[in-house]
Amino acid sequence: MSKLPETRLRRLRRTESLRTLTGQPFPTLGKMIWPVFAVEGENQRIEIGSMPGQFRMSADELCRAVEPLAEQGLGGLMLFGVVDEALKDAGGSYAFADNGLVQRTVKTLKAGFPDLTLFTDVCLCGYTDHGHCGALHAGTEIDNDKTLVLLQKVALSHAAAGADGVAPSAMMDGQVAAIRRALETNGYTDTVLMSYSTKFASALYGPFREAAESSPQCGDRKAYQLDPSDPRQALRESKIDEEEGADILMVKPATFYLDVISKVRENTELPLAAYNVSGEYAMIHALANSGGGDLHALARENLAAIQRAGADMILTYWANQYEQIF
C-alpha cells in the first residue's frame, strides 16, 4: 500500500535523466541481427512493398548497405536467398549448390566484413517448387528424416562458404542434432548453431513470404511449426534443441510471444534470440502511416519490450534504421 507522502514514485520519473538512471538500457545495435535478402546480379536494390525500408539486394548493394551499419557496431546479419523459380525443384537442391546464390553471397560478405557475424538461414522453402520446408513423400506430407539429410547439406555448404553461424528454421524433428553431427564430422567445429527452436505457425509471416517468395503452394506449415496455443510444446522444443547441441535458441515471432520468450529464458542458460518478424514490422508501419503513432517511438517501445521479456539478441528489420530510432 502506498503511503503518501513518503512513497511518491513520480519522484523518480520527474526528469529524463532520472528516468534513464532508474530504467534499463535500450538494446544496442550490437544486440541486433539484420535479416537480409540476397538476389542475383549487380546494382539490384528492389524495395519490398509490404516492408518499407527493406530491399532485396544483389551482393554489391548488400555490401554498400551493410558498411555503415558494420561501422556503427551491428551485431550480425541473417542471410536469406531469393532465387529464380526455374532453380526450384522437389528437394530444394539449389539450397546446397556449391556455388549457389547464398554460398557466393556469404563469401562476398565475409571478404568485405570479416569481423561481422554472419548467420545463414538453413531451410528449403525458398528452394522447393512446392514451397514447403522439406521434401514431400505423399501429398503434402513432409518426409522428416529425408529432409534432415538435405538440411545437413545446406548447413555444410554455408559453413564451407564461411558463414559464422547456421540457423535451421525448418522445424523438423532432430534437425539440430543432424546438423551438429554433420558440422563436427566435417571439421566445422567453430560454426555456431542458432536454432529457430521455438517457431510458431504464425499469421505474421506474410510480408516475409512476399520478400522471400517462399509461400507454400499447397497446404500450410501447421504440421511442423508450433501451434500458437501451445506454450508447453514451445518449451519442449527449446529444451530438445538445447540437448541436441544448439548454441543459441530462438523464439519466433517475438511481440505476440513475449510470455514464451520469458519462459524459455527462465528454462535455459543458453543465449536466447527473438525474431521480430515481418508482420510485426509492417504492423508498426501501418499504424504510423495511418497517423496513429510515431514510427520511431513505436519501434523503440517494441524493441525494448522484446529485450525486457528476456531476449539477448533481436533479429529485426529495424536494425538498418537504428540511428533514427534511438
Active site residues: 199, 252
Closest to Zn ion by CB, 133 vs 136, is 133
The grid coordinates listed for 69 are: 551499419
Task: Provide, rounded to whole angstroms, the least separation between the CB of residue 150 and Zn ion.
Answer: 12
120-147 as b/e: b if 16+ CB within 10 A = bbbbbbbbbebbbbbbbeeeeebbbeeb
Shortest gap between Cβ of 168 and Zn ion (angstroms)?
A: 9
**What are φ and ψ of residue 266, in 5° steps?**
-75, -20
Amino acid letter, residue 286? A
Nearest distance from residue 3's CB to Zn ion, in Å?
A: 56
What is the nearest approach in angstroms of Zn ion to the Cβ of residue 115?
Answer: 29
CA distance 229 to 83: 34
The answer to whether residues 135 and 143 touch, using CB atoms and an 8 Å cutoff, is yes
The H or E element that residue 93 is part of is: none
User: Between 27 and 92, whose beta carbon lies closer to Zn ion?
Assistant: 92
What secondary structure letter does DSSP report for 200? Answer: B
Residues 275 and 252 sit within 8 Å (Cβ to Cβ):
yes
Q: Which is nearer to Zn ion, 133 or 273 (CB)?
A: 133
C-alpha cell at 325: 530510432
Q: Which three cell numbers stand for residue 231?
A: 506454450
User: Dmax over Cα atoms in the chain, in whole Å?
Assistant: 73
Find, among 217, 214, 278, 300, the residue nearest to 50 by Cα.
Answer: 278
Lookup: cell for 249: 535458441
The set of cell numbers assigned to 310 is 528476456
Binding-site ranges for Zn ion (CB under 5 A): 123, 125, 133
Cell digits for 181? 553431427
Specify the residue, 123 or 311, whose C-beta has the smaller distance to Zn ion.
123
Shortest separation between residue 128's beta carbon and Zn ion, angstroms: 9
Nearer CB in complex with Zn ion: 125/148: 125
Residue 87 or 125: the one with the smaller Cβ distance to Zn ion is 125
Is the preceding omega at residue 35 within 30 degrees of 0, hence cis? Answer: no
| Distance of closest approach, residue 170 Cβ to Zn ion, in angstroms | 5
Q: How far apart are CA 201 and CA 182, in angstroms?
A: 27
